[in-house]
Amino acid sequence: MFNHETLDKYSPLENKIFQLIDDDGMPLDKKWKPALSDKQIIQAYKDLLFERTADYMAVSYQRQGRMFTYPPNLGQEAIHIATGMVIKEDDWLVPDFRELGAWLAKGVSMREIFLYFKGNEDGSRFVNAKRMLPVSVPIASQLVHAVGIGYAMNYQKEKAVVFAFVGDGGTSEGDFHEALNFAAVWNVPVVFIVQNNQFAISVPIKTQTKSQNLALKGVAYAIPSVLVDGNDVFAMHEVLAFARDHADSGKGPVLIEARTYRIGAHTTSDDPTKYRTKEEEAAWALKDPLKRLKGYIEAKKLFDTSGEEALVAEYKKKIDKEFEAAEKHPEYPLDDVFKYMYQEMPSELRRQKNAYENYLQNKGGAK
Amino acid sequence: MFNHETLDKYSPLENKIFQLIDDDGMPLDKKWKPALSDKQIIQAYKDLLFERTADYMAVSYQRQGRMFTYPPNLGQEAIHIATGMVIKEDDWLVPDFRELGAWLAKGVSMREIFLYFKGNEDGSRFVNAKRMLPVSVPIASQLVHAVGIGYAMNYQKEKAVVFAFVGDGGTSEGDFHEALNFAAVWNVPVVFIVQNNQFAISVPIKTQTKSQNLALKGVAYAIPSVLVDGNDVFAMHEVLAFARDHADSGKGPVLIEARTYRIGAHTTSDDPTKYRTKEEEAAWALKDPLKRLKGYIEAKKLFDTSGEEALVAEYKKKIDKEFEAAEKHPEYPLDDVFKYMYQEMPSELRRQKNAYENYLQNKGGAK
Amino acid sequence: MKVMNMVQAINDALDTMLTEDKSVVVYGEDVGVEGGVFRVTEGLQLKHGAARVFDSPLAESAIAGTALGMAIAGMKPVIEMQFDGFSYPAFNQILSHISRFRNRTRGKFTVPAVIRIPYGGGINALEHHSESPEAYFGHTPGLKVVIPSTPYDAKGLLIAAIEDPDPVIFMEPKRIYRAIKQEVPEEKYNIPIGKARVVNVGEQLTIIAYGAMIREAQKAIVMAKQKGWSVELIDLRSIWPIDRDTIRESVRKTGRVLIVTEASQSYGAAAELISIVNEEAFLSLEAPPARLTGFDTVIPLPLGEKYYIISPERIFFEIDKLIRY
Amino acid sequence: MKVMNMVQAINDALDTMLTEDKSVVVYGEDVGVEGGVFRVTEGLQLKHGAARVFDSPLAESAIAGTALGMAIAGMKPVIEMQFDGFSYPAFNQILSHISRFRNRTRGKFTVPAVIRIPYGGGINALEHHSESPEAYFGHTPGLKVVIPSTPYDAKGLLIAAIEDPDPVIFMEPKRIYRAIKQEVPEEKYNIPIGKARVVNVGEQLTIIAYGAMIREAQKAIVMAKQKGWSVELIDLRSIWPIDRDTIRESVRKTGRVLIVTEASQSYGAAAELISIVNEEAFLSLEAPPARLTGFDTVIPLPLGEKYYIISPERIFFEIDKLIRY
Ligand SMILES: Cc1ncc(C[n+]2csc(CCOP(=O)(O)OP(=O)(O)O)c2C)c(N)n1
Ligand SMILES: Cc1ncc(C[n+]2csc(CCOP(=O)(O)OP(=O)(O)O)c2C)c(N)n1
Ligand SMILES: [Mg+2]
Ligand SMILES: [Mg+2]
């Protein structure tokens, strides 16, 4: 058993997973007291429920043909909600693409997220989200950005931590290695969070690496690393809080493997039945983070979860509004193709834009 | 203390270095008996002496302006000579660029090496060196080639091991990480040898990584890894023999950190006084691999080393002949620019070549 | 003959070569169990085994670099870059090694590898999934670069690529993966690399294009025909080497030329083709050789893609301008 | 004014900007203690401290990617790729991120970073040390790419690049690092990115070149002058964007144009310039616009380089052909 204090001494070589509650939400250690207040726990539950609802809605919009693609977060929400609880306004969030709850905590709106997955760059403006980077599509490439930001935080003497996400598949990319190495050598305040959801699209973790766990990879860089139950919101919170402290106090980066399971498809264009079994899915269903958090809440009678349906209904309405707002977003103007490439539009781009406008004006005449 | 049997259980986490003889060549363990026969030991001494002589000669040719550049091997020869003793004819050698003795063992001629560093691709033909790759200039990029070859050896059911070299600096590149990960997952017979000579040009190891040792990096991939004294030819031989066995018996890759020191400059265009101290150089001079091997040989009276000067003189003559042969190499013909780009020369290349030949024929007339 | 779309034709070519030549292996991200995100390799692992058709870890540089290793050790790897934009992490291996190993070793080691890359826009995808990087490869000595525009060509060119003793970048216009169905012979056949195809014979103007742009050009040509104009269409097929003979012959005849490519304009394929036209048929030119290409911008996300991607109407507009010149 | 070579002028520009702007940092392989393998950053660490001028681990992708991170967090990193060929491992970061972050985030995050790359052949170097990759960058929307040909331009362009709010690839023709000495103002000055320079005014033919080729062209022009021929020379300076105005004006006057570049031919800068000439001055052309470039081969090792690298004699030969056309 570990706790906040002993995390300092944790070694991923022992291959033990940091976990605080069991599959039913019962504390593993009877004497354990959550670091979170009851109010925070209830909020975490609501946020988790919100993320899950938003996710379901997104998938259904996509099925209706109203959005092009969407990568569901289903099953991984505890990681995101815990991040949301720990991350501060001045902290940076460097996302992968599958951590919805953390984005929301940072101030991203569902409208923006929908807009992005409908195919509009306006969805990456993140107007109210301070220090939140856009989705990074090229796997693992965002991790080196996090390190650069970390350098800037040190250089500018700012007290701010960078949270950077990557998937299990992403740990195979060269940029993962380069980022961790630079982070350690430069001693930057970066918390790397590997969401090990067992798959990179169809490729299972055993085809991805031979190491027993991914936290182990931190050993190569002398980075403190923890393997944690990513479906246990308490454990995730504890580890993230530890990591934030560590980074914030000038001790350098931390690597976290959050072990979880992608309950849904890779994206809405994917069909997981091709590459995994019902048995595996059923086994992981027992560890569903929402179920576990609810178990805890119900056992402790913190909150009447029988009102869940009403909550979900309320969330759905809210999310629907956001989606409608995204659908009502102004038409994509031609200008937007050109105007953000450089601060000042080079004449070459003006020339190309003019040629297109000339076509638009004269195409009728030409026919 | 480790030996061939206990290497299996070696862990780089203990940060202990595998070493068999001390700075004077005296066995650390009185009961230890070298795995090498006296004859082999004498041969190793001669080979080391040859490599060193060749190296000095190369540097002096370069100083005379007869070669463009050259990366000296000085101080790292024990690694190369030990590799030469262990590598089999059917094994592959995937070089970095600083392992002369190993190349010679594989059948590369000094003439070819000189030719290469004089600036002729003919120097990479390696006519008599079976399964020897050319110098890899982009740091660490060769390691993934080694893994592909390893896959082919497995696929083709060949009993052959791949020896792949990289420097301490090279361990920072993304390709190092990708290669080790693929090697482990694919379980290929590759022995990775990191020559940690303390510097990447001017950049010291502490700027390169925060890990205590580079063998540690293997832990991230579940690859057996050993830190070994790269200036101890006995230790190097022991570890390499162990690694070759391991890989050859289908147990997969091995990572070796051979700790050594680059006594010379990075290349003949480099000036190490800019970035290191005389004290450091003096400390490492005590660990000179030639000195240590000679110490052993003299203590055991295996060979009369007073004849060294005569040996060196003989080698010099031999090397001079090779250099002369390189200098007498036929002029670089225009054809050679074009003819090796593709198996069959595409008409576009013929066109470009014709245009050049047309210039050669008519330039006089044009004036 | 079987009717196939391009996905099936490529699958068939891979199957043919896997069956015929034991040194052929197929690997990349999700190409094994899943059969590829576009289902191009579907069924191949089941048929040929997991030692020959398999998933690799997620790392493009290593995918490319290991292919080089296999190739110089006697195998014929056919690797997949899952999308165009994910070929960039493999650039160093492709530019520094795959393209050069033969020259570097004066022919001792050769790299008969094929790199398959689904490419191009028009599929409503996220960023980095709609790139047209052919000019990067075309500018890299030592590579051959081919792009089919039909299922028939796809099969024949891919077989030629796998049999080629040198590395071939095989770019697949994913937008028309399933758009065109065609009779494709079940037996093995080759389409020589380096030869363009005259898709449409015409007299007044030559369009040079490739990949998904061929279909758009064909539609524009129908529109032009209604005006009474006769337009020749050349499917380049081979991005490097370029078939100068076919271009010369056509432009000398028509005197007018329009290059249509999806990729961004500056330093793109259209520029190379215009230079070739100048070199081969300058005196026949009756109008400045023109190019219709993507903008020098990132290709927009789906909602903005309509501006970027070239429509038959825009091609027609340029034809009209050129013929009236 | 001080007389400087290009190495000194670049060092001076870095020193100027490090002094003026605390957000500027300089890093890369061996740029700190060592002062760079070409001594371009010599003395800067001593003067500005190791937090601002420093060695990084050996990994180009991270060097580029961390620069993006610093830049979006308010800094102005100036990074060095030790040699042209070692920019390839950084391609993914440059192509996928550095060039696109502004567009991706609709201007929220911007990347005022500079990537310095010593480039080109003629220095008797090993493989991968003599590359001319400018076309790869020129084909990448979102980048600006500049190449100076004199110490004066080097300082002014580098200062402009550092002050530019967008990422700039600053390529340094290492072959002439120390070959040209020139008076260079000690104060700060800018040379606007995107403007070419008319090096030599002439009437009969326009040469467009840049970097180390300028000096070779100048020599060829002297030879041409002896024949009584008047040749104009344009130093492009900016590879993207390209100064169409200067090109148009010149070619409309001369009617003949020769592009000279070191890089390999196909899909190279010369092709883009020929297209621009066609677009801007077709009706003035009295001869086909010509290109003299590197071959579509790997640049040979030193003993074979003489064939590849373009000499004044070869330029003269082409001038002669064009003028007699
Ligand atoms: C460099 C790169 N290669 C390939 C892809 C295509 N791709 C998108 S997601 C994905 C799998 C990612 O797996 P993982 O890192 O485990 O994240 P997860 O999807 O499981 O959250 C792949 C291969 C990509 N986006 N970037
Ligand atoms: C990708 C790449 N980046 C930079 C260089 C330039 N370079 C040549 S050798 C070297 C240092 C290599 O250090 P290390 O790997 O420790 O090998 P050593 O020279 O010490 O043997 C560098 C930076 C290169 N060859 N390749
Ligand atoms: Mg995953
Ligand atoms: Mg070293």
Residue whose tokens read 């766990």: A213
Position B107: which residue type? G
Helices (H), A87-213: 100-106, 110-118, 142-155, 174-186, 205-208
Model confidence pLDDT, tens digit, residues B4-51: 667 878 899 999 999 999 999 999 999 999 999 999 999 999 999 999
Shortest Cα–Cα distance, A290 to chain B (Å): 32
B262 among known catalytic residues: yes
CA D306, CA D311: separation in Å to the nearest integer?
Answer: 8
- Rounded to 5 degrees, what are φ and ψ at B227? -100, 125
Q: Say yes or no for a CB contact (<8 Å) between C313 and A348.
A: no
- Rounded to 5 degrees, what are φ and ψ at A190? -120, 130
Question: Percentage of chain D surpassing pLDDT 90?
Answer: 100
**Is D88 in CB contact (< 8 Å) with chain B?**
yes
Instruction: Return the CATH number of C197-324, one of 3.40.630.70, 3.40.50.920, 3.40.50.2300, 3.30.750.24.
Output: 3.40.50.920
Tell me what ipTM this predicted complex has: 0.98
Angle between helices C269-281 and C244-254 (to 10 degrees): 70
Q: Say yes or no for a CB contact (<8 Å) between A221 and B208.
A: no
Question: Which pair of tokens denotes residue D74?
Answer: 């308010």
> Using the 8-state DSSP alphabet, how is residue B280 labeled?
H
Q: What is the Cα A148 distance to its own chain's centre?
A: 20
Question: Of D214, D185, D184, nearest to D199 (Cα)?
Answer: D214
Point out the catalytic residue in the list A275, A332, A340, A356.
A275
- Within 8 A of A348 by CB-CB distance, chain D residues are 240-242, 244
Q: What is the mean pLDDT of residues D33-60?
A: 98
Using a 6 Å cutoff on CB, does residue B201 contact ligand 2?
Answer: yes
Model confidence pLDDT, tens digit, residues A273-327: 999 999 999 999 999 999 999 999 999 999 999 999 999 999 999 999 999 999 9
> Max alpha carbon distance in chain B (Å)?
82
Residue whose tokens read 């004089």: B118
Ligand 1: atom nearest CA of A76 is 21
Question: Which pair of tokens denotes residue B165?
Answer: 């070299």
Question: The pTM is what?
Answer: 0.98
- Within 8 A of D274 by CB-CB distance, chain C residues are 271, 274-275, 278
- Rounded to 5 degrees, what are φ and ψ at C117? -140, 105
Question: Of A128, A144, A51, A47, nearest to A94 (Cα)?
Answer: A144
Using a 6 Å cutoff on CB, does residue A264 contact ligand 1?
Answer: no
What does the buried/exposed string (b/e) look like for A261-287 if buried means 16 or more CB atoms within 10 Å of the residue's CB? bbbbbbbbebebeebbeeeeeeebeeb
The neighbours of chain B, by the rule of 3 or more Cβ pairs under 8 Å, are: A, C, D
DSSP reduced 3-state for D99:
coil
**D53-55/A162-167 β-pairing:** unpaired
Q: How far is CA D87 from CA A2, C96, C98, D107, D168, in A?
A: 45, 11, 17, 26, 14
D139 among known catalytic residues: no
Count the Cβ atoms, other than its own, within 10 Å of residue B65.
7
DSSP reduced 3-state for C238:
strand
CA A258, CA A17: separation in Å to the nearest integer?
Answer: 9
- pLDDT value of residue A6: 74
Residue B2: pLDDT band with limits 50, 70, 90? low
Nearest CA in chain A to B176: A174
Model confidence pLDDT, tens digit, residues D8-41: 999 999 999 999 999 999 999 999 999 999 999 9
Model confidence pLDDT, tens digit, residues A160-208: 999 999 999 999 999 999 999 999 999 999 999 999 999 999 999 999 9
Q: What is the mean pLDDT of residues C188-214?
A: 98
* C70, B148 Cβ separation under 8 angstroms: yes
Model confidence pLDDT, tens digit, residues D77-118: 999 999 999 999 999 999 999 999 999 999 999 999 999 999
- Rounded to 5 degrees, what are φ and ψ at A251? -90, 0
Question: Of D197, D161, D153, D195, nearest to D5 (Cα)?
Answer: D153
CA C111, CA B35: separation in Å to the nearest integer?
Answer: 40
- Disruptive mutation site among A126, A147, A151 for chain D (greatest number of D CBs within 10 Å): A151
* C315, C207 Cβ separation under 8 angstroms: yes
- Considering only B5-9, B90-94, D60-64, which range has the smallest mean pLDDT? B5-9
Q: Say yes or no for a CB contact (<8 Å) between B366 and D320.
A: yes
Question: Which pair of tokens denotes residue C273?
Answer: 């083709």
Q: Say yes or no for a CB contact (<8 Å) between B203 and D58.
A: yes
- pLDDT value of residue B363: 86
* B269, B62 Cβ separation under 8 angstroms: no
- pLDDT value of residue B365: 55
- pLDDT value of residue B7: 81
Model confidence pLDDT, tens digit, residues C41-51: 999 999 999 99
Shortest Cα–Cα distance, C85 to chain D (Å): 8
Residue B367: pLDDT band with limits 50, 70, 90? very low
- pLDDT value of residue B366: 44
Model confidence pLDDT, tens digit, residues B308-317: 999 999 999 9
- Within 8 A of C302 by CB-CB distance, chain A residues are 68, 118-120
CA C51, CA C55: separation in Å to the nearest integer?
Answer: 10
* C180, C206 Cβ separation under 8 angstroms: no
User: Catalytic residue numbers of C?
Assistant: 129
Helices (H), C139-243: 151-163, 213-226
Residue A2: pLDDT band with limits 50, 70, 90? low
Domains D2-184 and D197-324 equal at CATH topology level:
yes
Ligand 4: centre distance to CA B93 (Å): 19
Model confidence pLDDT, tens digit, residues B218-274: 999 999 999 999 999 999 999 999 999 999 999 999 999 999 999 999 998 899 999
> Using the 8-state DSSP alphabet, how is residue B33 labeled?
-
Using a 6 Å cutoff on CB, does residue B262 contact ligand 2?
Answer: yes
CA A345, CA B31: separation in Å to the nearest integer?
Answer: 78
Q: What is the mean pLDDT of residues D197-225?
A: 98
Question: A346's torsion region: left (phi>0), alpha (psi -120 to 50) or beta?
Answer: beta
Question: Of D180, D184, D181, D176, nearest to D152 (Cα)?
Answer: D184
Superfamily of domain D2-184: Thiamin diphosphate (ThDP)-binding fold, Pyr/PP domains (3.40.50.970)
- pLDDT value of residue B6: 74
CA C232, CA C242: separation in Å to the nearest integer?
Answer: 18
Question: C298's torsion region: left (phi>0), alpha (psi -120 to 50) or beta?
Answer: beta
The neighbours of chain A, by the rule of 3 or more Cβ pairs under 8 Å, are: B, C, D
Domain ranges of chain D: 2-184, 197-324
Nearest CA in chain C to A363: C317
Nearest CA in chain A to B186: A207
Q: Say yes or no for a CB contact (<8 Å) between A201 and C320.
A: no
Q: What is the mean pLDDT of residues B278-301?
A: 97
Model confidence pLDDT, tens digit, residues B61-79: 999 999 999 999 999 999 9
Higher pLDDT, A6 or A35: A35
Residue A7: pLDDT band with limits 50, 70, 90? confident
- Within 8 A of B210 by CB-CB distance, chain A residues are 181, 184-185, 221-223
